[in-house]
Amino acid sequence: MPVTDAADPYVLFDTWFAEAARTEPNDANAMTLATSTPEGMPSARIVLLKGHDPRGFVFYTNTLSRKGEELAGNARAALLFHWKSRERQVRIEGPVESVTPAEADAYFASRPRISRLGAWASLQSQVLPERALLERRLAEIEARYPGDDIPRPPHWSGYRVLPSRIEFWQAAEFRLHDRTTYVKDGDGWRVGKLFP
């Protein structure tokens, strides 16, 4: 079935995302995040979408992690949603900016307590010589913050991908898939189709 051509890709994304949330067995908000070093070496991993609106698509992480370091050196990224149960993909590409401290604080405060403690305990992407070291660090952080008042670590924040290009891919019989592209054009979008 061809993609319905909407003038606004965010409206189409909202529709697809809501449908995926109803049908995907796990984590409809899971997306591949591709970054690269300043020299162009790519890397990819799965992260979770934690917010989206016409400003962009938001995820949170340790800013000292590999992805954080890569974004510091090359603030561009690509996202890929693959909703197998719906036979759909959405590709998003564009520059990346940091969320505001207020946005990061609000999301951090909404996380489960153990996740907030883990953000302090984990030296994400650094070599871990033994699991016991992480467990000791977590115990130290639990002792430091025994209640629910756990501040956001200075090295933990969010990023917003600002789309310059979005592609919606819908599977079709005989691999005659439907591909609709939205390319940022001033304040609007240029809509087109691609061969499958």
**Are 179 and 167 within 8 A, CB to CB?**
yes
What are 102's two structure tokens?
Answer: 């207020």
Residue for token digits 């005989």? 174
C-alpha to C-alpha distance for 135 and 13, rounded to whole angstroms: 40
Phi, psi of 156 (to 5 degrees): -125, 125
CA angle 41/45/50 to nearest 5° reads 125
How does strand 156-161 pair with strand 88-98? Answer: antiparallel
Question: Maximum distance among all alpha carbons in the chain?
Answer: 59
CA neighbours closer than 13 Å in the CB half-sphere of residue 17 = 20
Q: Which residues are catalytic?
A: 175
C-alpha to C-alpha distance for 71 and 75, rounded to whole angstroms: 5
